[in-house]
Amino acid sequence: MGSLYTTILWDLDDTLLDFPYSQRYALSRCFRNIGRELTEEQHACYSRINTDYWRRLELGEITREELLVGRFSSLFQECGIEGVDVKNFQREYEEALGSVYLFRDDGLSVVRSLQGKVQQYVITNGISAVARNKLAISGLEGAMDGVFISEEIGCPKPQKEFFEYCLARLPEKNRARILIVGDSLTSDIRGGVQMGIPACWYRPEGRPNDTPWRPEYEISDLHEVYDIVTRFPA
């Protein structure tokens, strides 16, 4: 008898990797490049704007191109910063964002502990060049059986087209034996619920679920995934 799950679809940013760590580094470096020091207020402003832009992308309200530049245009407008080449700022930000990483809960060890027991894939809405670089320098690329990036597929999580693309390329065809692990209720968990794929919500801060999307599991530490995927079916 095999284990309950044969395949894990891992979210990348804010699940395996600490996205705020990379974001702060990249934003600070780019602000210095324009002769400024990033303030806490500006960082908080960007985080709010960036989250809203990504939410609008998930809902199909804006394009990826509108997101990439628009979030910085909105930031500079709100902060009263003028004279910045926004497209150049965006390019420098992407480069910096993909050059550093920090694991959540020693995520690489978690993934490696599951190698040989389950198939593992990354599913991310992140920018392709940034995600690919982080996967390479962190060692995650070599620990995965594949990587699915929304920019390369042409649509983001939670859209069904994204998940249909992934499912068509997985060896496991029984959705009940695939597990999505992610921090986002509106992309990872919603996508799993809508596609009939079991979902595990990673919420280390213990925030409440104020959405209609209900995961099969909730965890506060990535190490808990090991027990979930290696248990035997009832």
- Report whether 130 contacts 155 (CB < 8 A): no
Contacts 24+ apart (CB under 8 A), 138-142: 138/17, 138/101, 138/103, 138/108, 139/108, 140/12, 140/16, 140/107, 140/108, 140/111
The interaxial angle of helices 40-58 and 64-79, nearest 10 deg, is 150
How many whole angstroms separate alpha carbon 70 and alpha carbon 85?
12
List the catalytic residue out of 11, 105, 183, 188: 11
How many whole angstroms separate alpha carbon 141 and alpha carbon 221?
21
Q: Which fold has domain 19-97?
A: DNA polymerase; domain 1 (1.10.150)
Q: Is 106 tagged catalytic? A: no
pTM of the model: 0.92
Beta strands in the chain (DSSP E): 7-10, 119-124, 146-149, 178-182, 199-202, 217-219
Same fold, 7-18+103-230 and 19-97: no
For 77-102, how does the pLDDT look when each residue is reduced to its tens digit (9 = 90+)?
A: 999 999 999 999 999 999 999 999 99
Question: Helix (H, G, I), strand (E, B), or coil: what is residue 127?
Answer: coil
One digit per residue, pLDDT tens: the chain, 234 residues?
Answer: 467 899 999 999 999 999 999 999 999 999 999 999 999 999 999 999 999 999 999 888 999 899 999 999 999 999 999 999 999 999 999 999 999 999 999 999 999 999 999 999 999 998 999 999 999 999 999 999 999 999 999 999 999 999 999 999 999 999 999 999 999 999 999 999 999 999 999 999 999 999 999 999 999 999 999 999 987 775
Arithmetic mean of pLDDT over the chain: 95
Q: Hey, where are the domains in the chain?
A: 7-18+103-230, 19-97
- Let me know if 232 is exposed, middle or buried by CB neighbors in 10 A (0-12, 13-18, 19+): exposed
Q: What is the CATH code for 7-18+103-230?
A: 3.40.50.1000
How many whole angstroms separate alpha carbon 97 and alpha carbon 19?
9
